[in-house]
Structures are given as C-alpha cells and as structure tokens.
Amino acid sequence: MDDATLLQGIDYNKLDVLVLPTGDLGLHFSDTVPGEIVRADEESPIYESSVQFIGRIAFHVSVPNTIDICGAFDNMTLDTILTTYSNIPNRKLIFKNSSDSSNQGIVTTTVLPTGPVNASFRSSRGLIKSRTRIYVERSPPNMNFEFPVGHFVKKVIIPNRLELDGGIRTTKMLRQTLDRFADVEGRKIVFQKKNSRRGPPTTTAAKSVKTKWVPLEQSVEH
C-alpha cells in the first residue's frame, strides 16, 4: 500500500499509530530524511506509548477534519506541523519501518471549510495538454500546510457528488468546481509534490445528483 492510497479510506486500526494529545509532545526526530523518532522526553504526556516507535519513520500526520500529510519529512517540517496544530486533539502520527520505501513524494489532503477558497493557483501550461498541472501559487493566511505552495492539484473530492482525479487542467475549471459546491461540507483537495505516474485522469459523479458530469461507471480521457 503506497502513501497516496493510505490517505483514502484510512483504517487506523491496521496501522502503527500514535494518538497525540494537545500541547507540547516532547518528541525528538532525527536529522535524516525521512525523519525517525530518536527519543521522547521523560515528562512527555505520551512517553510510554511513544517509546515503542523509536527508530521508526514518521511518514504520516493526520489532523481531524483539517489535513492529512504523508511523505518523507525532515525533522523541522515534522516539528512545525505538530506545533501548528498543537491545540487540536486526537491528531495521529503514523509510522513505518525504515526499510519501507515510497515514491509518492509529499501527498496532502486538505478538508475545505464551506465558502470561497482564497488560495491562488496557476497552470504549468505545458505543450502537451494532458501533462498540464494546476499548482498552488499562494496560500491563504496561516494555511501554508493546507495549501502547499508549488504542489499540484491531484484530486478534488465533493462528498456524494463527484471526484475529479487528475483531470483538472485549468485554474478556471478548478475555481468553477470549488465555487459550484462552496456550500458542501467536507470538500477535499489532494495535493502532490511531484507528478503522478498513474493512468489517464478520470471524472466521476454520484448518480443521485443531476449534474453534467459523467456517470460513476464511466471515465473521460483528456
């Protein structure tokens, strides 16, 4: 199972998960990339539960109803993510063995609040249309992790409505999609740091909604 797949339909009971309380954790990570836990302060609120993960790679951070990030983090990035969301309970830090490899880059799934999205996007404007990507140009204030600058839009998910996987080729299309469903709770954008090598992009839509999107069983090639 690769890192991108882990972000979809996560079953935390089958993973090596450390549930994090609010506040200072007292965890220390290695200078290597990806980062490993090297020690935990004795006064850490999760000292006993974290010791078993020493020497393991921390590759996935989950913040409930806000963001999921997975990939090869350095220690500064890990510390910053954990500090930024330190007031949110039930965050999760997920581990894997150092022998486990991944070529997915950094994958970020952001849960959007209702209303307009104030991030700025740009197109790569490639000569080959199918290789054009939409990138984050500027993040909204205090949302640098939710909208990582320079990462491309891999997928847009509107719960029970539609899912655009790799088929967003213009900033106009992205804006129209987000604005059209601005009042839907739980919208998600999946960002990736490097281009995916998967197959052709697809567009799916739930049957219960009358839209111009193709049926769930079909896909559109671009």
Residue scoring higher pLDDT (196 or 154): 154
pLDDT at 202: 53
Task: Dump pLDDT digits (tens) for 80-112.
Answer: 999 999 999 999 999 998 777 666 689 999 999
Q: What is the pLDDT of residues 61-75, one digit of tens each?
A: 999 999 999 999 999
Distance CA 166, CA 159 (A): 17
> Strands 152-158 and 162-165, how do they pair?
antiparallel
Element (H, E) at 27: strand 27-29
| pLDDT tens by residue, 164-180 | 998 788 999 999 999 99
Q: What is the pTM of this model?
A: 0.80
Residue the block writes with tokens 């302060």:
41
Q: Kindly tell me the burial class for residue 126, based on how many C-beta atoms sit within 10 Å of its own C-beta (0-12, 13-18, 19 or more).
A: exposed
186 pLDDT band, cuts 50/70/90, is very high
Query: Given this model, what pLDDT does residue 204 score?
Result: 55
DSSP secondary structure string for all residues of 51-107: GGGTTSEEEEEEETTTEEEES---HHHHHHHHHHTTTSTTEEEEEE-TT-------E
Q: Distance (Å, rounded) from C-alpha 76 to C-alpha 89?
A: 21
- The answer for 204, left when phi > 0, alpha when psi is -120 to 50, beta otherwise, is beta
Average pLDDT over residues 171-194: 95
Instruction: Please give the mean pLDDT across all residues of the chain.
Output: 83
